[in-house]
Amino acid sequence: MKNIKMMVVGFASAVAVTVALSTTLFAKNDAPTLSEPTVEASRLQSLAKFTKVLGIVEQYNVDGLTIDQLIDKALQGLLSNLDAHSTYLDKKSYDSLKTQTDGEFGGLGITVGMRDNALTVIAPIEGTPADKAGIKAGDIILKVNDKSTLSMTIDDAVALMRGTPKTPIDLTIVRKGEAEPLKFHIIRDIITVESVYTRKIDGNILYIRVTSFDKKVAADVKTAIKKNGANSKGIILDLRNNPGGLLDQAVELVDLFVNEGVIVSQKGRNKADDVSYSATKSATITDLPLVVLVNEGSASASEIVSGALQDLKRGVVVGEKTFGKGSVQVVMPITETEAIKLTIARYYLPSGRTIQAVGVIPDIVVASGEVKNHEKQFNIKEADLKKHLESELEKSDGMIDVTEVNASNKTIITSEQMDKDIQLKEGVDIIKALIIVKGK
C-alpha cells in the first residue's frame, strides 16, 4: 500500500509541474496535432500528451475553466473510467465521506452502486425512510429531485440524497416490470440501523437477521447463538438486502460456522495486497444445520459470507442471485483535503471463483413473493357435523386468539408471516429437512 500511495502522489506532482508550462507550448492559432499513441510510448511521452491536451482545452474551451478546475475534471474522468467504484474525492466529497464514517447524518437509508452505467439501488436498509417508502433492490434512480443521474458519479448522487433530517426529497425510479417510472416522496431522517436481531421459528429454529456488517456483527451473532443455540436445532441466516460492510466481520462470521479452510482471499496487482483469510477451529461455536437467505440486494461482505459457506459445503444458500460486488477499495489521501478511492484488488471465494459482476447463485433459486394459498370452496369440518361438540365450542368462546398473540410477539416468526415471505418459507422447509437428516 505504501508504494501505491507514493506512486499516486508522484503522478500528481508530475502533472502539477508540466501543467505550469502548458500555455506556452503552442501559439493561439497553431494547435498541435497529436501523434498516434504507440504501445511503446514511455511515461514521459504520455504525460507530454496529457499536458498538450490540457493546454488546448485551457486555451480554447468555450467555458474558460481554470487549471484547477480542469485538473479536478481530469482526475474525476481518470478514476471513474477505471471501474464503477474508483473515484476522485474533492474537498466536499472527502468531507462527506468522513462524515458518513465518523458521525450521524441525515439520509434515506439506501446503498447505491453503478450497474450498466445506471445508478442502481443495491439495497434499502431495513427500517429506514427509503425502506418504508417502498424502494427496492434493483431499482434504477433516474432523477434526484429534478436532476438527472445520467453521467452522475455515485458520490455526487449520494451528496444530493444526503441532507438535513426531516427535509423532503423526490426520487424518480425505473423498476423492472413497471411500464412507467415511479416517483417517491421521502422525508430524510437520521439513519440508525439494528445490524443484528434474532427471532424463533417453531420453537427450535433460530432466525438471525444481519442488515449490515458493522464492527459488532460477528460478536452479536456469536452472542445470539450462545444464548439460543442450546434450544435450537437449526439456524437461518438472513442476508437479504444487506449491502455489506467490514471485511473482517464477514470473515469472523463465517468462522463461527466453519472450523477449517480458506474463507476468502483477495488478489491485486501488487503482491503486498494479496491476502488470504482462513477459518480457525477455536472460533467455531456451532455445527447446527444452516440455511442462508440472499437476494439481489445482498452485496460485498454478504456475498463473501454466503459464497464461502456455499463453497465449504457448510450451508444451503436460498433466494436470488446476489449483486456481484467483489472488489476492494481503499481511500488514499493526496492532500490534506483531497483523496482518491481506488480499487486495488478483487475477492475470491474458497473455490477460486470471483464475485465481481457474477454474484453468488443460490443452491435453490426462489423468487421473492408470497405463498399462494388457494382457499377450498367446499369442505366439511367437525363443527359442520350434527353431533359436533357444542359444549367444547362454548368453552372456547372465551379463549385468547393465539394467532393474534403470536403476531404481536416480536421474538417469534409466525406461519402467517412466513406465508408473506416465500423465500423464508422455503428456507424453513429446507432447514427442517436438514434437521431430520442430521437426526438419523
- Which residues are the active-site residues? 300, 311, 325
Smallest CA-to-CA distance from 217 within 301, 293, 290, 282 is with 301
Q: Are strands 234-238 and 262-268 parallel, antiparallel or unpaired?
A: unpaired
* 292 exposure class (CB count in 10 Å sphere: 0-12, 13-18, 19+): buried
Instruction: Decide if 229 contacts 285 (C-beta within 8 A).
Output: yes
Q: Could you tell me if residue 349 is left (phi over 0), alpha (psi between -120 and 50 degrees) or otherwise beta? A: beta
State the cell numbers at 391.
359444549
State the cell numbers at 417.
408471516
* 40 exposure class (CB count in 10 Å sphere: 0-12, 13-18, 19+): exposed
Q: What letter represents residue 94's amino acid?
A: Y
Q: How far apart are CA 440 and CA 437, in angstroms?
A: 5
Instruction: Decide if 327 contacts 274 (C-beta within 8 A).
Output: no
Dihedrals phi, psi of 172, to nearest 5 degrees: -100, 120
Instruction: Decide if 163 contacts 193 (C-beta within 8 A).
Output: no
Q: How many CA atoms lie within 13 A of 272 on its CB side?
A: 5
Angle, helices 247-255/217-228, rounded to nearest 10 degrees: 20
Instruction: Decide if 215 contacts 253 (C-beta within 8 A).
Output: no
Smallest CA-to-CA distance from 321 within 306, 336, 311, 335 is with 306
Q: Could you tell me if residue 147 is left (phi over 0), alpha (psi between -120 and 50 degrees) or otherwise beta? A: beta
Dihedrals phi, psi of 181, to nearest 5 degrees: -60, 150
